[in-house]
Chain A
Amino acid sequence: MILSRALPTLAVTEALAAAVARAARPGDSILLEGPLGAGKTAFARAFLRAAAADPTLEVPSPSFTLVQSYATGLGLVHHFDLWRLDGPAALAELGWDDALTDIVLVEWPDRLGPLRPADALSIALVPTDAPIAVDTPVTAGGDAARTALLSGWPGRLGALA
């Protein structure tokens, strides 16, 4: 089953992230897929702010640090960004096995290879092709339209429909 959700604005993205946070529990893996600039970190930030019930929680990009951990109302949430990895070899060094007992949010999950959790919720963020001329100024920035394709979470995906 694949659930498709249109995300015309950042506010709708944040509402979906909050709904995922309400459904999440320790042991869950949430994989955020999509190209550079698709809104993965923005989604993760909204999830963490909802989970921590703190709308101003600082959630910097973990591209450099690879993982940042947050204490939330759902227990610990580990925000991984595997962009700089070439494969799963370094994951052990990052405490991947221990993190799986809590909630993990993973950007660039293709780097997980065989370590990809089978029961994960996958959220693919697809920038919406806008029929605009090449020389139209880009002003929307992070608030551009995209579509989320949700899959996985056997038996639980309906809660997000």
Chain B
Amino acid sequence: MDLAGGRPVLGIESSCDETAAAVLAGDGRILAALVASQEASHAPFGGVVPEIAARAHLALLPGLVRGVMDQAGLGFADLGGVAATTGPGLIGGLIVGSQMGKGIALAAGLPFVAVNHLEAHALTARLPGLVPGGAPFPYLLLLISGGHCQCVAVEGVGRHVRLGGTVDDAAGEAFDKVAKLLGLPWPGGPALERLAAAGDPARFAFPRPMLGRAGCDFSFSGLKTAVAQTVARFGAGALEPRVAADLAAGFQAAVAAVLADRAGHAMAMFGERHPGVAGLLVVAGGVAANGAVRAALGAATAAHGFGLAVPPVALCTDNAVMVAWTGIERLRLGLVDALDVAPRPRWPLDELAGAVAAPPPPRPPA
């Protein structure tokens, strides 16, 4: 039973440094989507400053929600449900977003969906029109962002099996930290890719951690250390542009090679779990925007006979479209959350089984 009754769903995302709201029609068409990035306010600190993040989410979110509702030409009474990211992430932002979502749901008598941010990335590929054939379950997800780095067999709504993940740093974290070592501005990933474009990836032969190792775990800490040691050899002060570009290119090549190797192992593991299934690798997270990474993953999927789906960058990075879409998917299955659900800074994908089917709260009298 579709608890949203085919009506539009509002999604709210505030788990890290993006504040976002979106309204999707019941069939998944995007009616309105807005993202306010806090990049500018964080730039002086070289990272996401969580205290500022919570305050900025609080300042931005009401305007964004009003904005998407106006753009969609809808009032809250026209919605079929409200979905908000409730974990994992930074606790301040999660409180702001989930409480706002619950408040709207309570006031308008709508079902509320507490969305797991990782599941939202995982289900994005199923948005209508993104992947030819619509990405039926099961498929393989490679999530590579600043805070997350894992391979997941996506087998259904609320049914995800983590095949492997990082044992130390996330891939995006490695990009951010190496960018900082190279003196690049925040956000580090795009700046590093631009610098690497002019560099020689072969000049510095950086280690490729975990390459060839069984399973599909990742490790990027040793690679980061190797870059730090190499930078230190050039002494204090700014690096020559040539050197910085070669370092960036060498690092990026190492990350791309590691991700392709690990994804290869994950595809083999997925194939063993699901023999006979036409394999599809879906990539999500900000690192998916990196051209060298996409090229390496393209070669790896071709070698394993998998299809490759990389959603547009705006849907790979944090956004509220994926949150609203997850709300739609869950409401279609009758899955709703109680309004006393607490934000969860840590919320592994394999702890999603707790979602329970329950009747929606009664609609208030018109």
Name the residue on A nearest B177 (C-beta): A36
B39 interface residue, CB < 8 Å from A? no
Residues in B160-175 with C-beta less than 8 Å from chain A:
165-170, 173
CA distance A138 to B168 in the complex (A): 20
**A residues within 8 Å of B by Cβ?**
35-39, 41-42, 45, 58-61, 63-66, 68, 83-86, 89-90, 93-94, 127, 129-130, 132, 134-135, 137-144
Contact with A along B8-50 (1 / 0, CB 8 A): 0000000010000000000000000000000000001111111
Q: Is A132 a contact of B233 with CB atoms below 8 Å?
A: yes
Q: Select one of A35, A130, A138 contacting B205, CB under 8 A.
A: A138
Q: Select one of B46, B88, B224, B234 contacting A37, CB under 8 A.
A: B224
Give B261 Cβ to nearest chain A Cβ, in Å: 16
Q: Select one of A63, A68, A85, A138 contacting B229, CB under 8 A.
A: A138
Residues in B127-176 with C-beta less than 8 Å from chain A:
146-148, 165-170, 173
CA distance A59 to B169 in the complex (A): 10
Q: Is A134 a contact of B228 with CB atoms below 8 Å?
A: no
15 cross-chain CB contacts under 8 A: A36-B181, A37-B221, A45-B168, A60-B170, A61-B166, A61-B170, A63-B177, A64-B170, A84-B47, A93-B51, A130-B229, A139-B205, A140-B207, A142-B222, A142-B225
CA distance A89 to B49 in the complex (A): 10
Give B325 Cβ to nearest chain A Cβ, in Å: 24
Q: Which residues of the other chain, A, contact B170 by a CB distance below 8 angstroms?
A: 60-61, 64
Q: Is B205 a contact of A93 with CB atoms below 8 Å?
A: no
Q: Which residues of the other chain, B, contact A66 by a CB distance below 8 angstroms?
A: 50, 90
| Given known A37-B225, A90-B51, A127-B229, contact A84–B45 (CB-CB < 8 A) | yes
| Given known A61-B173, A83-B47, contact A93–B54 (CB-CB < 8 A) | yes
Give A148 Cβ to nearest chain B Cβ, in Å: 15
CA distance A129 to B233 in the complex (A): 8
Q: Is A141 a contact of B207 with CB atoms below 8 Å?
A: yes
Q: Is A61 a contact of B168 with CB atoms below 8 Å?
A: yes
Q: Select one of B16, B146, B147, B209 contacting A141, CB under 8 A.
A: B209
Q: Which residues of the other chain, B, contact A90 by a CB distance below 8 angstroms?
A: 49-51
Residue of B90, B205, B206, B221 with highest tally of chain A CB at under 10 A: B221
B180 interface residue, CB < 8 Å from A? yes
B345 interface residue, CB < 8 Å from A? yes
B92 interface residue, CB < 8 Å from A? yes
Q: Which residues of the other chain, A, contact B76 by a CB distance below 8 angstroms?
A: none
B232 interface residue, CB < 8 Å from A? yes
Q: Is A60 a contact of B166 with CB atoms below 8 Å?
A: yes
Q: Which residues of the other chain, A, contact B177 by a CB distance below 8 angstroms?
A: 36-37, 63, 83
B227 interface residue, CB < 8 Å from A? yes
Give A101 Cβ to nearest chain B Cβ, in Å: 20
Q: Is B226 a contact of A138 with CB atoms below 8 Å?
A: yes
CA distance A65 to B93 in the complex (A): 12
Q: Which residues of the other chain, B, contact A42 by a CB distance below 8 angstroms?
A: 168, 221
Give A128 Cβ to nearest chain B Cβ, in Å: 10
CA distance A61 to B206 in the complex (A): 21
Q: Which residues of the other chain, A, contact B346 by a CB distance below 8 angstroms?
A: 65, 68
Q: Select one of A68, A86, A141 contacting B223, CB under 8 A.
A: A141
CA distance A129 to B319 in the complex (A): 44
Q: Is A84 a contact of B233 with CB atoms below 8 Å?
A: no
Q: Is B147 a contact of A39 with CB atoms below 8 Å?
A: no
Q: Select one of B168, B181, B203, B229 contacting A144, CB under 8 A.
A: B229
Residues in B186-230 with C-beta less than 8 Å from chain A:
203-207, 209, 221-230
10 smallest A-B Cβ distances: which pairs?
A141-B222, A37-B228, A64-B147, A90-B51, A84-B47, A37-B225, A142-B222, A137-B205, A138-B226, A86-B45
Q: Which residues of the other chain, A, contact B209 by a CB distance below 8 angstroms?
A: 141
Name the residue on A nearest B95 (C-beta): A93
Name the residue on B nearest A39 (C-beta): B225
Q: Is B221 a contact of A93 with CB atoms below 8 Å?
A: no
Name the residue on B nearest A137 (C-beta): B205
| Given known A37-B225, A61-B168, A65-B147, contact A93–B92 (CB-CB < 8 A) | yes
Q: Is A138 a contact of B230 with CB atoms below 8 Å?
A: yes
CA distance A38 to B346 in the complex (A): 27
Q: Which residues of the other chain, B, contact A85 by a CB distance below 8 angstroms?
A: 45, 47, 49-51
B322 interface residue, CB < 8 Å from A? no
CA distance A127 to B168 in the complex (A): 19
| Given known A63-B173, A65-B345, contact A134–B234 (CB-CB < 8 A) | yes
Give B214 Cβ to nearest chain A Cβ, in Å: 15
Give B308 Cβ to nearest chain A Cβ, in Å: 26
Q: Is B91 a contact of A60 with CB atoms below 8 Å?
A: no
Give B103 Cβ to nearest chain A Cβ, in Å: 21
